[in-house]
Amino acid sequence: MSKRVLVAMSGGIDSSLAAVLLHEQGYEVIGMTMKTWDYASSGSTGKKETGCCSLDSINDARAIAVDLGFPHYILDIRAEFGDYVIDYFTDEYMAGRTPNPCVLCNTHIKWDALLKRADKLGCQYIATGHYANIRQENGRYVISKGKDHHKDQSYVLWGVSQDNLARTLLPLGNLLKSEIRQMAMERGFVELVKKSESYEICFIPDNDYRSFLRRRLPNLEAEVGQGNFVLQDGTILGKHNGYPFYTVGQRKGLGIAHKVPLYVLEIRKETNEVVLGEREELGRDGMTVRKISLQKYPKIEGDLEVIAKVRVHDVGTPATIRQQGDTITALFHEPVEAIAPGQSAVFYQGDDVVGGGWIERSFQQYGTQRIYKETNDLPFYKPQKTQ
């Protein structure tokens, strides 16, 4: 039992090689492909199905299992995925926030679903093709960045619980993407190398979330109604189609003629206003992060220096953080642009994930003094001017 592992296989090169490598290392591998979404339900047409939920991907995963002689199963979790992830996705946009469904799916759907089936199949471990590492240190399971920092996926794993990490294997963590491709070629899996990678949200294959919201909520535009584009001083610039169709940091698709490019600074659900401003106005001094999950430490004591990432491709910014219950307040050492409530914030020490959570709000220097008082005088770092 100690060598039996259930591998999540999407049909792509990464998860397939994860299964191959574990098989070669002597593990008793069982493959499982999760059906999370029905493409017919997405409303998209005229495009070949891609990604982890397509029939082609399921067949590709099964072909690897047949070739290597280990079992493969399909796990239909469309109902629980829809109830949890899709409802969350639409609810967040309706709340004026920008959701991060992939993090939620990893944390509350895929890991739990895999472990439940692993127990039934007598597997001690589960494995995925994520580019990240897990190690045990001081009684904690610590997630750290993968060797290939260009492909690193530690950002999306901050919410996986300690109990779940204890049973998780990440066989690609110490490999580069180029090495994975070479290994696939050497083993004769040429078609895996040729496959294009999918970067879109699985239930929005055309990357058009606005059309998805309209299909999901047919009366959305009538219920929300048109609102105003405004500047921070209240100046009205024009009309928009409703706050759910905009995200913080957005520049394109605003339909506003102005002397300089404008960006979305804030979404005001209560008044159906979308606040616009110039790029230099996007910078924020800090943020509050709620519903946190800690990895490296059981609790953050006092002030801790970290690198904070506010989106998956963010290079990170030095910050000081302090924990208060289920909330972390982060003060940046220099302004950070386009911090979107609803997205994940992940805190690092070197390559190690300290923890993460959901961004509740950001603040500028004018509000900083109030924040310091609320958090017992966190140290002040004067923001540098943006270049």
Domain count, the chain: 3
Pair (273, 286) in one structural domain: no
Sign of CA dihedral 216, 217, 220, 222: positive
Q: Which residue numbers in the chain have pLDDT < 70?
A: 1-2, 38-54, 198-200, 365-387
Pair (111, 158) in one structural domain: yes
| Beta carbons of 235 and 229 less than 8 angstroms apart | no
Report the CATH number at residue 309: 2.40.30.10
Rounded to the nearest 5°, which phi and psi values hold at 223?
-75, -40
Active-site positions read: 105, 202
Tokens standing for 267?
A: 């979404």
Domain containing 177 equals 4-194
What residues have CB less than 8 Å from 92, skipping those under 6 apart? 98, 99, 342
Which of 157, 175, 194 marks a domain boundary?
194
Pair (244, 135) in one structural domain: no
Report the CATH number at residue 54: 3.40.50.620
The predicted pLDDT at position 124 comes to: 95
- Determine, yes or no, domain membership for 53: yes
- Determine, yes or no, domain membership for 133: yes
